[in-house]
Amino acid sequence: MIESPTGGSGPDPSQPGTFGDYECDAPLALVESAVDAMKSLHPDPDFILWTGDDTAHVDDKYFSTAKVVDIITSLTNVPPKENELQTQVADLWKDWLADEYGQFKFSGSYSRDISNTSVSVVALNTLIWYKSNQETASVSDDDPAQLFEWADATLSDLAKRKRKVYIMGHIPPGTFERYQQKKEGFHWYQDRFNKKYIELVQKHAAVIKAQFFAHHHTDSFRLFFDAANATHPISYMLLVPGVTPWRSSLSEETGANNPGIRLVTYDTDTGLVKEVSTYYLDLTQANSNEKANWKLEYNFTTEYHLKAINPTTLYNLTKTMKTNRALFDRYYTANTVSLEDPEVCQAQCQQLHWCAITEVDYERFYQCNAASSMSSWAAGTLAAVGALVLRHRQAG
C-alpha cells in the first residue's frame, strides 16, 4: 500500500490532523484505519473491490506538483496496447491473474469468477475511454485496445455459462453530479465511448447484476434504460465514496467528503445485491479525539425504505426523490458522506443530481439539465456556493 501525501493547497494543509484534512489526500493512518475497520466489519469477505485512485491528488514535501502531474500523466495516458505500465503490473499480479494475464497486459482489464458463487467480476480499464488520455484522444479507432470487443465477448460467454456479472471500473460513464458550472455538466469519457458503454450495458443487461465505479469520491448511483424504452430501467451503477477526504479542485461546489467504505451483501446464486452498508469516519471528530471511530452511516434498504435493490426500485426511489425533499436530503447527506448540509443544494442543484442519475448519455443529460430556466439555475448555483463558503467558515 502506498502512503498518500498529507500536504496540500488548502487553508492550513501544513498541519493536518492525525487522520488527515479535507484539503489533503489520505495519510497512512487513515488508510490503515479504513482497512482495520473493514477487517473488523467482515474479516473474511468473498472478495474486495478496490476501485482505484491510489495516486496523490495534491503535492507535498515528498512529491512536487510536477512529480505528481508526471505520475498522473503516465498513468492517464495509457496507450491502447501492451505497454510498460501494464506489463509490469501484469507481471506483479501474474499469480492472481492466471489465464487473464495476457488480456490484462493488452488492455489492463480482466474477468474473474468468484469461488463458490455464481458471480463473476469483469474489471474494465476505463482509462482507455478517458477524454484526458492523450493516447486515445486522437485515435480514430472506435475501440482502442479492442476493449469493447473483449467486454462484449466476455459478457456473452459469461451469460452462456449462466454466470451473474458485476462490472467494476474506476472512471465511470455519465456526468459528475456535483459540478454546476456548465449546463452540459462535467464528464470523463469521450462521447463516442460513453455511447458505446451504454450500448454494451443495454445489450448485456440480463447478465449484469450491478456495476461498481468510483472516481467522484461521492456516494451516488446511475440508471441505465432500455434502448427502445427510455422509461424502462434495465441496469444500475453504484458510485462508491472515497477514503480520501480531499476537496476536489474541479470547482468550489464539487467539495470534499468524509472517508467512506462499503460492505455489499449479495445473493451468491442470483448475484442480486441485497444490502449496501456504508461506513464512515467523521474526520473532524476523529482528529479531535485522536481516534478513528468508523460508524455505520446507513443501510441502503432501510434508509430509502426499499424492499429490494434493483433497477426498478432505484428508478422509483429517484422519481420520489425528485419531489420529496426530505428523501432527497437523505441522499444528498450521503452524497458527501455526511459532510455537507443538504441546504446547500437547492432546486437547480437537486435537478442536476436527478439528471446525472437518470441520464448517462451526455446529450440527454444536457437536455434534462437545461430544462429549467437559466436565470433560476444561475441564482441556484450562487446560493449553493455562498452556503458552502458559510459552512466552511462555521466549521473553521
Contact 252, 385 (CB under 8 A): yes
3-class state of residue 37 by DSSP: helix
Shortest Cβ 55–Zn ion spacing (Å): 9
Nearest Cα neighbor of 207 from 152, 274, 279 is 152
Shortest Cβ 257–Zn ion spacing (Å): 13
Q: Which residue's CB is nearer to Zn ion, number 53 or number 253?
A: 53
3-class state of residue 67 by DSSP: helix
Shortest Cβ 170–Zn ion spacing (Å): 6
Shortest Cβ 98–Zn ion spacing (Å): 27
Nearest Cα neighbor of 244 from 219, 217, 221 is 217
Question: Per rule CB under 5 A, is residue 25 in the interface with Zn ion?
Answer: no
Q: Which residue's CB is nearer to Zn ion, number 187 or number 215?
A: 215
Shortest Cβ 190–Zn ion spacing (Å): 16
Question: Per rule CB under 5 A, is residue 178 in the interface with Zn ion?
Answer: no
Question: Per rule CB under 5 A, is residue 177 in the interface with Zn ion?
Answer: no
Q: Which residue's CB is nearer to Zn ion, number 132 or number 146?
A: 132
**Residue number with the smallest Cβ distance to Zn ion:** 215
Q: Which residue's CB is nearer to Zn ion, number 163 or number 215?
A: 215
Distances (CA, A) of 54 to 28, 71, 242, 268: 12, 11, 11, 29
The cell for 307 is: 424492499
Given the rule CB under 5 A, which of 50-58, 150-158, 297-305, 331-339 is the region that contacts Zn ion? 50-58
Q: Which residue's CB is nearer to Zn ion, number 18 or number 55?
A: 55
Shortest Cβ 72–Zn ion spacing (Å): 9
287-315: b (≥16 Cβ within 10 Å) or e:
beeeebebeebbebbebbebeebbbebbb
> Maximum Cα–Cα distance for the chain, whole Å?
58
Q: Which residue's CB is nearer to Zn ion, number 25 or number 303?
A: 25
Question: Per rule CB under 5 A, is residue 247 in the interface with Zn ion?
Answer: no
Question: Per rule CB under 5 A, is residue 57 in the interface with Zn ion?
Answer: no
Given the rule CB under 5 A, which of 103-111, 203-211, 214-222, 362-370 is the region that contacts Zn ion? 214-222
Question: How far is residue 48's CA from residue 264's CA, in Å, rounded to a whole number?
Answer: 10
Shortest Cβ 3–Zn ion spacing (Å): 18
Shortest Cβ 217–Zn ion spacing (Å): 8
For the CA atoms of 352, 246, 131, 153, the dihedral, rounded to the nearest 10 degrees, stands at -90
Burial of 330 (0-12, 13-18, 19+ CB in 10 A): middle
Q: Which residue's CB is nearer to Zn ion, number 26 or number 292?
A: 26
Given the rule CB under 5 A, which of 215-223, 279-287, 305-313, 333-341 is the region that contacts Zn ion? 215-223
39: left (phi over 0), alpha (psi -120 to 50) or beta: alpha
Question: Per rule CB under 5 A, is residue 53 in the interface with Zn ion?
Answer: yes
Distances (CA, A) of 75 to 84, 172, 254, 338: 11, 17, 23, 31
Contact 176, 239 (CB under 8 A): no
Question: Per rule CB under 5 A, is residue 217 in the interface with Zn ion?
Answer: no
Q: What is the DSSP letter of 166?
A: E
Q: Which residue's CB is nearer to Zn ion, number 214 or number 344?
A: 214
Q: Which of 187, 215, 216, 262 binds Zn ion (CB under 5 A)?
A: 215
Given the rule CB under 5 A, which of 49-57, 61-69, 123-131, 318-326 is the region that contacts Zn ion? 49-57
- Positions that interact with Zn ion (CB under 5 A): 53, 215
